[in-house]
Structure 1
Amino acid sequence: MRRVVGFAAVVVLAGCSAESAGTAPPTTSPEGLKVEVVASGLTHPWDVGFLPDGRMLVPQRPGRIALVGKDGRVGEVAADLGDVAARGEGGLMSLVVHPDFATSRRFTTCFNTAEDVRLVTWVLDGDRATRVRDPLLAGLPSNPSGRHSGCRMALDNDGNLLIGTGDTARANVPQDRGSLGGKVLRVDLDTGEGVPGNPFGDRIYTYGHRNVQGVAVREDGVVFTAEHGPDVDDEVNALKPGGNYGWDPSRGGTVGGYDEDVPMTDLERFPDAVPAAWSSGDPTEAICDAAFLRGEQWGDLAGVLAVTALKGTKLLLFTVTQEGGVHSVAVPPELDGTHGRLRGAELGPDGALYVTTSNGRGDELLRITRA
């Protein structure tokens, strides 16, 4: 049973603070949001995948996939996930339902193993999933502690699979185009191979990233990412094929260890690096997943980029420009510290925004609409 916890009436969206605004000014909106708890009792749910019959697949970091019914009841997919290595930030992460699921019954997951981060494609039969492409893609670097071993997937407008990866806290990885870490990859959803037209002729779409947590595709095809900074400067980036996003904790290979005192986008070392569309400055929010709001039901929020925040325990709403910049930022009070750490963000087939919490115990799947 869904439980309404927001306001059903029209309320005012509070403008965000200067700290939350980062490099863009705060803004206000004349109407509020309604937040419903669709399901609870989850553990670090990372993502949401929507099935044609109205059910949802929700991967949980410890290595379980919840099957959430239209009535909010939570079951579990029977699947062999024994090789998931859930350590620190790593474990079972992103999930994508294939566009042809109605006939193929396929979905793809991304998770840490003891050796790497890999993608596996499954077929769902009732509440049981069987591996049919194992792996779809392997060899993404992983840190034994799980640090910066993330994996966020999304489909572009051509049905290709975009994969945002972390640098595994290894200094040389972000700038090394021989590594799949610290990158955004673009691959064929059926084969895992690079897509023709990729800028370097392989799987890499962009490089020089620290720890990509969110990938969202605008209606015109422009890809935006949300990325964790070190102590400062979380970033929202608009991707340019082949772009270098300027993270280099090795300082060109001149220092040992993992030097996080370098700029998040080092325009001095890399003058051609792509500047961030938005940066949090200090403090960081630990921004996470991202999704564009679409449909008439969103009113003046249609086209806004919604980004979850873990440390910031809020939802940030970015008004983005046609050129890929950020015009302004707002924080709705209904999701400002009200549900703890927010991780996954996906627009559902009903036009609502679905968000997952990541507090570790009793986590929730939320449904967000205009009030």
Structure 2
Amino acid sequence: MRRLAGFAVVLVLAGCTTSTGGTAPSSAVPGGLAVTEVVGGLTHPWDVGFLPDGRLLVPQRPGRLTLVADGRATPVDADLGDVVARGEGGLLGLLVHPDFATSHRFTTCYDTATDVRLVTWELTGTSARKVVDPLLGGLPVNPSGRHSGCRLAVDAEGALLVGTGDTARPAVAQDRSSYGGKVLRLNLATGEAFAGGDRVHTYGHRNVQGIAVRPDGLVFTAEHGPDVDDEVNVLRAGANYGWDPSRGGASESYDESVPMTDTVRFPDAVPAVWSSGRPTEAVCAAAFLGSSWGALDGVLAVTALKGSKLLLLTVTPEGGVHSVSVPPELDGKYGRLRGAAVGPDGALYLTTSNGDDDKVLRVRPA
């Protein structure tokens, strides 16, 4: 990967930690972290994709695609005129296809006036053209943009996973005919259900903001709670995750006083493996750290918007969360943190989401 120029900020952690609350105890972070600014001057960068030539491909929520190389941002010439950026909505998740070296393809997810849709593109130089539009359309949209979560990942079998928001409508999350409040599992080439399964992989979600696939294939998601109980979940095919602000259809309003995982109404609902309790952090993207991280190998890194921090979750082989730590280098120092992805160099790449001079950050052990 090319060296990415920028201003380096290196801080050393002396075995301390910040209390995280939630359903797992706090723990100390071994060593320290080095945080480097890769590029600035962005507006709500939602994700980071890595190209074989070392460039980064970054979607910005107002409806812009940007290539980053050697500390410089170059606009991508792409027809994004149908993107509706309002509230939480706009140009959101991005996935560089595993075969990009030969196909030059990537897929984005964004709000339009009528739906949230997946679109596949082909990149040539600094220009991108739509080649499958839509790969999948008809995901529900809220005109205000509320609960437009749309994160993309590829699982161990090559299926496209899509985490979606419930558009702040009461019945959507439990309605299996709707693509809102779900994790979808699709054929990356066609948008059809993967391997003859069901497009709706899991349901009963409020607003899925992060998906991380562990090397052994276990899939974790990060999800926004209302004023309590952000969640990290482990996915089970066909399972209900218990969010139902319609109260079984009894309420026509969006009743956010219900539990995030209502095991009384839904006894088979899957409990979260970690919950923030109160207050919420507004957890967002998630990524597993690799072997170059030493003692942090296998840790799940989760960004937080409202919390303005990075959460490091130590997970068990079975998928439980053993403990949580917050490195001080990324606790309130850069504001709201949204995107998280591990690059080919093993570093963790984060995006800020403050709306003014947002950045891509590169994080490594110090």
Q: TM-score, normalised to structure 2's length?
A: 0.98
Report matched runs for 1:276-291 at 5 Å: 276-291=272-287
Q: Give how far 1:324 is off.
A: 1.2
Q: Which residue of 1 aligns with 2:262?
A: 266
1:11 CA drift (Å):
2.8
Partner Cα separation in structure 1 for residue 347 and residue 35 of structure 2: 10
The answer for the alignment partner of 1:27 in structure 2 is 27
Pick aligned residue for 1:303 from 267, 284, 298: 298
Check whether the contact 2:187–2:195 (CA below 8 A) recurs between aligned residues. Answer: no
> Map of 1:342-357 to 2, 5 A cutoff?
342-357=337-352
State the partner residue of 2:182.
Answer: 183
* Matching residue within 2, 6, 27 for 2:6: 2
Match of 1:55 in 2: 55
Equivalent in 246, 251, 264 of residue 250 of structure 1: 246
Deviation at 1:197, TM superposition (A): 5.7
Q: CA deviation at 1:5?
A: 1.4
In structure 2, C-alpha distance between the alignment counterparts of 1:169 and 1:112, rounded to whole Å: 15
**Cα deviation 1:240-277 (Å, max 9, x = unaligned):** 11110000000000112100000000010001100000
Q: Deviations over 1:140-188 (max 9, x none)?
A: 0000000012210011112211000000001000000000000000101
Alpha-carbon shift at residue 302 of structure 1 (Å): 0.4
For 1:35-184, list aligned pairs within 5 A.
Answer: 35-69=35-69, 71-184=70-183
Instruction: Give every structure 1 segment of 4 or more consecutive aligned residues whose post-TM-superposition deviation is greater than 6 Å.
Output: none
Q: Which amino acid aligns with 2:162?
A: I
Q: Residue 367 of structure 1 corresponds to which residue in structure 2?
A: 362
SS in 1 for 2:194: coil
Aligned residue identity for 1:21: G
Q: CA deviation at 1:196?
A: 2.2
- The equivalent residue for 1:337 is 332
Residue 368 (structure 1) shift:
0.3
Q: Which moved more, 1:25-34 or 1:276-285?
A: 25-34
**Counterpart contact for 1:13–1:330, Cα < 8 Å:** no
Distance 1:246 1:279 in 2: 14
Say which of 11, 14, 35 aligns to 2:13: 11
Task: Give the Å deviation of 1:12.
Answer: 2.5
Task: Tell whether the 8 Å contact from 2:121 to 2:129 is kept in structure 1 after alignment.
Answer: yes
Answer yes or no: is the 8 Å Cα contact 1:16–1:329 preserved in 2: no
Q: 1:213 to 1:13 in 2, by over 3 A?
A: farther
Partner secondary structure for residue 39 of structure 2: strand
Residue number among 220, 232, 241 corresponding to 2:237 in the alignment = 241
Counterpart amino acid of 1:6? V
Give, in whole Å, the separation in 1 of the partners of 2:288 and 2:149: 21
CA deviations 1:296-338 (Å, max 9, x no partner) are x200100000000000000000001111111000000000000
- Which residue identity is paired with 2:109? C
Is residue 30–residue 295 contact of structure 2 (8 Å, CA) maintained in 1? Answer: no
- Gap change, CA 1:13 and 1:240, over 3 Å in 2: farther
Cα distance in 2 for partners of 1:358, 1:11 equals 25
3-state SS of paired residue (1:121): strand
Residue 355 of structure 2 aligns to a residue whose secondary structure is coil
CA distance in 2, matches of 1:181, 1:235: 17
* Contact map agreement 1:43 1:362 (CA 8 A) in 2: yes
Conserved? CA contact 1:13–1:331, under 8 Å: no
Q: Pairwise CA RMSD of aligned residues?
A: 0.9
Aligned partner of 2:315 in structure 1 is 320
C-alpha distance 300-172 of structure 1, shift in aligned 2 (>3 A): same
Unaligned 5+ segments in structure 1 are none
Query: How many correspondences in the alignment?
Result: 362
CA gap of 1:165–1:13, structure 2 versus 1, over 3 A, is farther
TM-score, normalised to structure 1, is 0.96
